[in-house]
């Protein structure tokens, strides 16, 4: 794997790099970010272990080439550190493992494992030739079990290590154990049914073997011992036994399949709800940093795979393990001569599968990432429908999707080839072993060292087992997919949620709504300060307006009040209490907020107005709509308040959407209300009507009106005029500000003039 770092975009003060080293390696990403973050002049570093992207923000006066050199040096240092750390133990993260061919240290262990397997098999051979019967059997059992256990243990450990690497210390459990979580009881139930079903299947195989024996030899010794001596009676007895075993297999298989599927569904549902709940509580700055479609992909596909693994492959693994547990001792007791050849493939296949896993892990991480990018672009392009059409860029968009789809296809093709090759290798091993069993067993029967009666039922049973083993390739594949999906789910869940430092609450009727910003400085990560040392007072029970150029920090003030963001320094007080001492929910209940780009849900108009006050009566909904000047246009629609408005309210005009959002906030009836450009898309006449209607609404509450159209704020009790960088340039009432002949007065001149024209 290439360990390089290549620049993706370089602008003054900001560089984006693609660093292969951090892809799929959260630890390496963290280390790199920390290392670069310590360099003087570099202000912020974000390394994304999913995409491999590294964003470096720095003092714009530093030459870009210097930054580039530092990034490369840091990558080289981290790479050296990672290689050192990886040498003594198993690789930390499969996604970033170099292929086994190039990693000598890494391939040593599987080689040891398979070497152990083969060595044990040789030892078995020697023991078979020389030792006494019990010692031969013991040696054989021990060898097969030890070699298999060695290989499996190695994998289990590695998965635990990887999981710890992805989510940090403390999670020392295997991902599968974590995935099952509280559904362990159902897992046990399903497992018990599967084991019983497998035992029944083995019994069926034995009965069929005996049937063959009766037909060829005239009798089956075990039945004769039970008192059934005549061939006819034995056949009848066997028919009954076969029928009973068939019925048991069918019933148990049905019940166990049902249980496994239920388990899969429970796991999927559980992970989806828990993860979604987590996502809902993420701090806004983290949610903004994640692509919506990527999060959606994790909540649907990745979580689905967690359940699917338990609904299918987990059952297969258990059946395989059960057959092994029953068959290996049976074989070794009854026909130790041929046991080694029958079971030799087990450790070999286990090793092959795990080796394949090493390779496929990186492939699955890459394919998953490319698919996520594709999905994200598809949604983006679809949502941009009107823009695409108006710029006639349909072909450009189609080509973009084509490229991404091709990239996803290429990486899938690569993993598919590996997977298919692996499955066929495993099948070749199992069939070779079947042939070997027949040949070696046949020779033993001909040579008189093995009785045909013993050999005959044993022919079919290992075949059953080996057929199942041949599915191990597919199972390992699913397992790998599941780990990759689990990794993505865990990463999403590792993002921090909003937490409350203080647990103060507000009693809504007592909230007066006086808001004080006390020397507040706030900057978005990597940006210059949006608000700098800003102090202002918003008196209780009055209408206060914030006006000013776009980008002057008006919306940022609203975000601070809602605690979507927190000030870097300074305090925000509500009725004299620092809002950081209050619970967020309590604060947000006290403040009604109409955002600049309000979101309407796919549903009816009434549903949207009622959002957040689900128990509101129809009359209250209509009253709120009337106050927001929405009632007239809603009533004119054929379905009135039951009109479906499509995704994001697509079937409404911008001004209509704003009025619905306003009605929603009016209905909420909070003591403090922030209207952020809430009527910017509404015509002047309607806006004037809304203002008249809002006057009674505003009478007993604190209103903050953010606007760029000065006519909106003319009636306000106090107007703050914001300048770039979040500074208050002027303040006062409309008349006072006009009398000052300052910035506000000239803006008013321009806007009034524009209106007059
Ligand atoms: N999510 C964000 N991430 C980074 N910068 C932002 C973000 N939102 C706003 N800004 C920047 O902060 C500054 C103030 O923005 P904002 O408060 O939205 O201004 P206004 O509402 O007055 O137009 C602007 O320079 C804007 O580019
Ligand atoms: Mg704004």
CA angle 250, 253, 258 (to 5 degrees): 125
Burial bucket for residue 170 (CB in 10 Å: 0-12, 13-18, 19+): exposed
pLDDT number for residue 113:
42
How far lies 247's CA from each of 211, 253, 468, 700, 719, in Å? 18, 10, 21, 76, 84
Does any ligand 1 atom lie closer than 6 A to the CB of residue 555? yes
Of the listed ligands, the closest to the CA of 524 is 1
| Angle between helix 394-446 and 452-470 (nearest 10) | 170
Measured in angstroms, how far is the CA atom of residue 708 from the centroid of ligand 2? 9
Sign of the alpha-carbon dihedral angle for 369, 371, 374, 375: negative
Q: What is 327-380 written as a DSSP string?
A: HHHHHHHH-HHHHHHHHTHHHHHHHHHHHHHHHHHHHHHHHHHHHHHHHHHHHH
Measured in angstroms, how far is the CA atom of residue 554 from the centroid of ligand 1? 8
Q: Which CATH architecture has domain 5-88?
A: 2-Layer Sandwich (3.30)
Sign of the alpha-carbon dihedral angle for 417, 418, 421, 426: negative
In the CATH scheme, what is the homologous superfamily, with its name and number, of domain 508-756? P-loop containing nucleotide triphosphate hydrolases (3.40.50.300)
How far lies 137's CA from each of 140, 202, 454, 462, in Å? 5, 21, 16, 17
Does any ligand 1 atom lie closer than 6 A to the CB of residue 527? yes
DSSP secondary structure code for residue 715 in this structure = T
Of the listed ligands, the closest to the CA of 549 is 1
Q: Are 593 and 678 in contact (CB under 8 A)?
A: no
Measured in angstroms, how far is the CA atom of residue 706 from the centroid of ligand 2? 8
Q: How far is Cα 452 from Cα 439, in angstroms, rounded to an integer?
A: 13
Atom of ligand 1 nearest to the CA of 549: 22
Q: How far is Cα 690 from Cα 692, in angstroms, rounded to an integer?
A: 5
Place of tokens 């940090």: 168
Atom of ligand 1 nearest to the CA of 526: 4
Domain layout of the chain by residue ranges: 5-88, 104-494, 508-756
Pocket test for ligand 1, best of 555, 706, 721 (most atoms within 8 A of CB): 555
- Taking the CA atoms of residue 359, residue 363, residue 365 and residue 371 in that order, the dihedral angle to the nearest 10 degrees is -170
Pocket test for ligand 1, best of 13, 553, 724 (most atoms within 8 A of CB): 553
Output the residue whose Cα is nearest ligand 1's atom 18: 555
Atom of ligand 1 nearest to the CA of 525: 4
Of the listed ligands, the closest to the CA of 595 is 2
Q: Which residues pair with 63 in a beta bridge?
A: none
How far lies 537's CA from each of 516, 546, 573, 579, 755, in Å? 4, 11, 9, 14, 31
Distance of CA 505 to the CA centre of its chain: 34
Q: Are 354 and 155 in contact (CB under 8 A)?
A: yes
Sign of the alpha-carbon dihedral angle for 537, 540, 545, 550: positive
Measured in angstroms, how far is the CA atom of residue 725 from the centroid of ligand 1? 10
Does any ligand 1 atom lie closer than 6 A to the CB of residue 551? yes
Of the listed ligands, the closest to the CA of 564 is 1
Atom of ligand 1 nearest to the CA of 553: 17
Strands (E), 488-601: 515-522, 531-538, 543-548, 569-574, 577-578, 591-594
Measured in angstroms, how far is the CA atom of residue 530 from the centroid of ligand 1? 7
Of the listed ligands, the closest to the CA of 676 is 2
DSSP secondary structure code for residue 508 in this structure = G
Q: CATH: 1.10.10.10, 1.20.1560.10, 3.20.20.150, 3.40.190.10. Which one for 104-494? A: 1.20.1560.10
The candidate with the shortest Cα–Cα distance to 665, out of 699, 718, 703, 720, is 703
pLDDT number for residue 440:
81
Atom of ligand 1 nearest to the CA of 552: 22
Does any ligand 1 atom lie closer than 6 A to the CB of residue 553? yes
Output the residue whose Cα is nearest ligand 1's atom 21: 555
Pocket test for ligand 1, best of 290, 524, 674, 678 (most atoms within 8 A of CB): 524
Burial bucket for residue 449 (CB in 10 Å: 0-12, 13-18, 19+): exposed
Output the residue whose Cα is nearest ligand 1's atom 26: 551
Residue 670 backbone zone (phi > 0: left; psi -120 to 50: alpha; other: beta): beta
Measured in angstroms, how far is the CA atom of residue 553 from the centroid of ligand 1? 6
Q: How far is Cα 440 from Cα 437, in angstroms, rounded to an integer?
A: 5
pLDDT number for residue 116:
44
Q: How far is Cα 442 from Cα 360, in angstroms, rounded to an integer?
A: 39
Does any ligand 1 atom lie closer than 6 A to the CB of residue 524? yes
Output the residue whose Cα is nearest ligand 1's atom 7: 524
pLDDT number for residue 676:
93
Of the listed ligands, the closest to the CA of 57 is 1
Measured in angstroms, how far is the CA atom of residue 16 from the centroid of ligand 1? 21
Q: What is the mean pLDDT of each run of 10 residues along the chain (757 residues)?
A: 69 83 80 82 81 83 82 84 49 34 35 44 51 59 72 72 55 83 93 92 85 80 76 86 94 94 95 93 77 84 93 86 79 73 76 74 79 86 86 90 91 83 80 81 84 72 67 76 88 86 84 93 90 93 92 93 92 94 92 91 94 93 93 94 90 91 94 92 86 86 91 90 86 93 89 64
Render the burial of 98-108: b for 16+ CB within 10 Å, e for the rest: bebeebeebee
Q: Are 287 and 296 in contact (CB under 8 A)?
A: no
Of the listed ligands, the closest to the CA of 554 is 1
Q: What is 271-300 written as a DSSP string?
A: HHHHHHHHHHTB-HHHHHHS-HHHHHHIII
Place of tokens 């040891």: 112
Output the residue whose Cα is nearest ligand 1's atom 2: 524
DSSP secondary structure code for residue 218 in this structure = S
Dmax over CA atoms of the chain, in Å, equals 121
Q: State in Å, rounded, how far the first CA of the chain is from the last one.
A: 66
Q: Are 75 and 30 in contact (CB under 8 A)?
A: no
Q: How many helices (H) and strands (E) does the chain have?
A: 28, 14
Q: How far is Cα 249 from Cα 256, in angstroms, rounded to an integer?
A: 10
Does any ligand 1 atom lie closer than 6 A to the CB of residue 552? yes
Q: How far is Cα 733 from Cα 545, in angstroms, rounded to an integer?
A: 9
Output the residue whose Cα is nearest ligand 1's atom 1: 524
């Amino acid at each position: 794997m290439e360990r390089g770092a290549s620049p993706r975009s370089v602008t003054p003060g900001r560089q984006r790099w693609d660093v292969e080293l951090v892809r799929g390696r959260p630890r390496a990403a963290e280390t790199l970010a920390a290392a670069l973050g310590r360099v003087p002049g570099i202000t912020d570093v974000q390394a994304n272990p999913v995409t491999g992207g590294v964003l470096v923000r720095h003092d714009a006066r530093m030459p870009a080439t210097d930054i580039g050199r530092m990034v490369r040096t840091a990558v080289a240092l981290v790479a050296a550190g990672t290689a050192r750390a990886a040498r003594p133990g198993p690789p930390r993260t499969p996604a970033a493992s170099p292929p086994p061919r190039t990693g000598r240290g890494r391939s040593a262990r599987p080689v040891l494992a398979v070497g152990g397997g083969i060595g044990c098999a040789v030892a078995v051979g020697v023991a078979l030739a020389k030792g006494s019967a019990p010692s031969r059997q013991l040696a054989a059992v021990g060898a097969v079990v030890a070699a298999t256990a060695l290989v499996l243990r190695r994998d289990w450990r590695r998965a635990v290590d990887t999981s710890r690497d992805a989510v940090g210390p403390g999670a020392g459990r295997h991902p599968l154990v974590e995935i099952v979580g509280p559904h362990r009881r159902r897992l046990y139930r399903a497992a018990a049914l599967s084991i019983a079903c497998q035992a029944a299947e083995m019994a069926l195989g034995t009965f069929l073997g005996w049937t063959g024996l009766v037909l060829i030899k005239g009798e089956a010794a075990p039945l004769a011992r039970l008192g059934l001596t005549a061939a006819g009676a034995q056949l009848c007895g066997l028919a009954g036994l076969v029928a009973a075993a068939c019925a048991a297999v069918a019933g148990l298989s049905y019940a166990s399949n049902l249980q496994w599927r239920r388990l899969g569904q429970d796991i999927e549902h559980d992970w989806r709800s828990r993860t979604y709940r987590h996502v809902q509580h993420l701090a806004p700055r983290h949610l903004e940093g994640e692509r919506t479609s990527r999060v959606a992909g994790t909540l649907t596909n990745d979580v689905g795979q967690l359940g699917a693994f338990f609904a299918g492959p987990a059952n297969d693994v258990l059946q395989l393990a059960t057959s092994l547990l029953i068959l290996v001792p049976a074989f070794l007791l009854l026909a130790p001569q041929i046991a080694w050849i029958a079971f030799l493939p087990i450790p070999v296949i286990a090793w092959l599968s795990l080796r394949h896993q090493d390779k496929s892990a990186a492939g699955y991480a890459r394919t998953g990432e490319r698919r996520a990018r594709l999905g994200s672009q598809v949604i983006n392009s679809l949502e941009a429908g009107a823009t695409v059409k108006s710029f006639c860029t349909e072909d450009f968009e189609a080509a973009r999707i084509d490229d991404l789809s091709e990239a996803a296809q290429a990486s899938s093709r690569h993993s598919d080839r590996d997977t298919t090759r692996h499955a066929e290798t495993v099948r070749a091993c199992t069939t070779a072993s079947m042939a070997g069993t027949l040949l070696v067993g046949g020779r033993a029967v001909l040579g008189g060292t093995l009785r045909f009666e013993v050999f005959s039922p044993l022919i079919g049973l290992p075949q059953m087992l080996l057929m199942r083993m041949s599915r191990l390739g597919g199972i390992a594949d699913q397992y790998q997919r599941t780990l990759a999906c689990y990794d993505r789910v865990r990463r999403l869940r590792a993002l921090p949620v909003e937490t409350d430092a203080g647990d103060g609450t507000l009693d809504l009727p007592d909230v007066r709504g006086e808001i004080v910003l006390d020397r507040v400085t706030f900057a978005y990560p990597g940006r210059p300060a949006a608000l700098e040392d800003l102090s202002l007072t918003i008196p209780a029970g009055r209408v206060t307006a914030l006006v000013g150029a776009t980008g002057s920090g008006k919306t940022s003030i609203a975000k601070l009040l809602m605690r979507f963001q927190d000030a870097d320094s300074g305090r925000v007080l509500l009725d004299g209490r620092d809002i950081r001492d209050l619970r967020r929910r309590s604060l947000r209940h006290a403040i009604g907020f109409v955002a600049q780009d309000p979101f309407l849900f796919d549903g009816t108009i009434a549903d949207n107005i009622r959002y957040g006050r689900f128990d509101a009566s129809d009359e209250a909904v209509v009253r709120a709509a009337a106050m927001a000047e929405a009632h007239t246009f809603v009533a004119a629609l054929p379905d009135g308040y039951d009109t479906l408005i499509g995704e994001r309210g697509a079937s409404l005009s911008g001004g209509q959407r704003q009025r619905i959002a306003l009605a929603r906030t009016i209905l909420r009836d909070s003591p403090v209300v922030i209207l952020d450009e809430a009527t910017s898309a509404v015509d002047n006449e309607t806006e004037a009507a809304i203002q008249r209607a809002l006057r009674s609404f505003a009478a007993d509450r604190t209103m903050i009106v953010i606007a760029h159209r000065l006519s909106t704020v003319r009636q306000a009790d106090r107007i703050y005029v914001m300048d770039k960088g979040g500074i208050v340039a002027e303040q006062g009432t409309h008349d006072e500000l006009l009398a000052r002949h300052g910035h506000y007065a000239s803006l008013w001149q321009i806007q009034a003039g524009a209106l007059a024209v």
